[in-house]
Every structure is written in structure tokens, then in C-alpha cells.
Amino acid sequence: MKVREDDVKVGGAIRSVVIRPVGERAWPGVLLYTDIFQLTESTLRTARRLAAEGFVVVVPEIYPHGELAGVALEFDDAGKAAGLAGAAATPTASFDADRATVLDYLEAREDVTALYVTGFCIGGHLAFRAAFDPRVTATVCFYPTGLQNGGLGADVADSLSRAADIRGRLMVVFGSQDPHVPADARLQIVSALYAAGLDDLELHIYRGGEHAFMRDIGARHDPTLTDLALAEAVSFFGGR
């Protein structure tokens, strides 16, 4: 399916890329959170693939208000350091406020029929928090970091303790070889989700998958697992 792509300023401040199928019909909307490197071509390639499956995908910058606004970081040590510093300087409340702004934008679009969320790495954690919004009916978190210990931004996030606030469907994907979310962290996360009553979620742990295995640049990329994870996400969003 062909897609069209537009740069927009959501809420007048949040630089975002909107990717949607060509045509006049309406589609489900997906808020897609990036990793710490923001609007890289790697993430946008994934967003295009998702849009081509029949979604209006909105990809906002996660650091839209400071010195990283408008910056797509390189996948190198300097880029990593800058991305981590951007996270460390951003309070959880600021992430939450931006999320509400982007969801409001998606909901108001005439070509959007439902609200879904997904994200990668820190974006997976942000997607988890976006699921607290009752308008979000399905969420897919790809290797979310910091859920087990509240590591998100400038403060300790209360994400896992608020799991019971999630009313929509939830799917979480991990790689078995992810040092940021090792087995004990995954056990802690799943145990907390079950304890909160979220015992109807989907959990995928891909054997051999490293952190950021879906980023199509670098030695960690696994094309087979990437295709499998995207297919599972599209099927999940579609209600199977």
C-alpha cells in the first residue's frame, strides 16, 4: 500500500511526522514513540511499514521543547549520550503532557477511527504510559526500558505501579538477550502486570533478540525477528 508523509507541528510545538495510506478513507491512528535518537530514518522506515498496513501513524519527537528539538541523533556514542541526557532532563509530567497533546491531535483527525500506541526502548515505556489514557484501545510496547525501576526521565516514573489504569489491550515484546531488560526485570514486570489484573495481555520474548533488534542499522538488527514482531503487532492491533 502506498503512503503519504507530512511534517506537522502538533500543538504548535511538537515536531511530528504523519504517515498514512494514500486515499480518502479513515484508518486507525497509531501514536508511535521513537527511541532516544528521535526521528531517524531507521524509525521512520518502521513507521512507513506500519502505515502501509492500514494505519495513520504519528511519530512525534520525544524531546520537542529543549535543545534537541528538531534534532535526529546519530547512532554513535555522542548521539547516545545526547539522547540519554535529553531523557534525564525531561520530567515524567512533561512526557505525559506531550502524550495528551498528540493523542488529542490524533483523535481530532477526521481520518482516524481509533487510537493505538506503540514505541521502542524508551518509547516502549512511553507507550506503556500512554495506555493509561482511556481513549487508547490497544498498545504494543517493544522492549520497553525502565519499567521495572521507574527509569524514564528526570524523576522516578510510577508507570508499573499504575498498571491497573490500563483499560485497553496490551502486548509487550522483549528480546531474550536484552541487557536493559534481563530475565529478572522481565519477571518483575510481568508479575506486576498480573498482580494489577492485566492477566489477558500478550507477552513475546524472542530467543536471541538483543536490545533494539528492530533498529535496521547496526549489528544488533535481526530482520527475521523484526518482520515477526511487526506482523504480530499489526495482527494485535487488528484484534486478531
Three-point CA angle 34, 103, 126, nearest 5°: 35
Three-point CA angle 62, 16, 75, nearest 5°: 55
User: What CA–CA distances, in Å, run from 137 to 35, 115, 127, 131, 141?
Assistant: 22, 6, 12, 8, 14
Q: Is 180 a catalytic residue?
A: no
Say which residue the cell 514513540 belongs to.
Answer: 33
Q: Is 121 a catalytic residue?
A: yes
Cα dihedral 119, 121, 122, 127 sign: positive
The one catalytic residue in 125, 180, 204, 211 is 211
Cell of 95: 512526557
The one catalytic residue in 141, 178, 180, 222 is 178
The one catalytic residue in 121, 133, 141, 180 is 121
Q: Which residues are catalytic?
A: 121, 178, 211
